[in-house]
Amino acid sequence: MTARPSLLLTGIRAAIIDLDGTMVDTAPDFHVAINRMRADLGLGALEIDTIKDFVGKGTENLMRRVLAVDYPPEQVEQHFPAALISYQRHYHAINGEYSTVYPGVRAGLQVLQEKKLRLACVTNKPIAFATPLLEKTGLLPFFEIVYGGDSLPKKKPDPAPLLQVCADFDLQPAQVVAIGDSSNDAQAARAAGCRVLNVPYGYNHGQPIQDVDSDGIVATLLDAAHLISA
């Protein structure tokens, strides 16, 4: 479903916003850190478009997908620990250096604040990477709550992180909208009972965002903000 200018999501009191592929284009950071890790393991470099298709289900899944380019499943698990340590070292060193904030994000967050919506960032990125990235990009002050993929026992597409935010804000899920770039966000929101909007420019595991069940596809976070009404 594609959002139209006349569509309004009413009764919304809070927004839960994804990070990678929704607010920040972090694929260049992934590209650099992954290929440095692969060099450590004696593997060749991957193209950035290949890596984009692997993003979205957390660091552990990302590492296994990257290793599966070269190894069968049993060898993926054999090399996984060393790959994860190497990747985390390289990613920590460059976190945010090659990333850019998408157009409309800052303006969208400002409009949401002006509408008195409470804001949370829920990402599958480890919290040790998510918070510094939000700080480096200047987006951290917009958010009351930030949950990473390792902040809670379960991560998206499980609804638990979204339900935790609803509880934190003392709101019913129907009063909360999730905004993200992938099926992870939509599935988590649907299961939690939240509304959901998707942006079309992120990393939906290589699948068309038009195939995702959401309340609308919006060109930018600013467009999303204009569709949300308390």
Residue 91 backbone phi and psi in degrees, to 5: -65, -40
Catalytic residue among 18, 20, 181, 215: 18
**Do 178 and 189 contact (CB within 8 A), yes or no?**
yes
Phi and psi of 197, rounded to 5°? -120, 145
Residue 2 phi/psi, 5° resolution?
Answer: -105, 130
Sequence-distant (≥ 6) Cβ neighbours of residue 210 within 8 angstroms: 2, 200, 217
Alpha carbon distances (Å) from 65 to 69, 70, 106, 158: 7, 10, 32, 20
3-class DSSP state for residue 126? coil
- Let me know: does 8 contact 227? Beta carbons within 8 Å: yes
Asked whether 185 and 160 are in contact (CB, 8 A), the reply is no
How far is residue 47's CA from residue 190's CA, in Å, rounded to a whole number?
A: 33
For residue 70, indicate whether it is catalytic: no
Q: What angle do CA 70, 76, 79 make, to 5 degrees?
A: 100
Q: Which residues are known catalytic residues?
A: 18
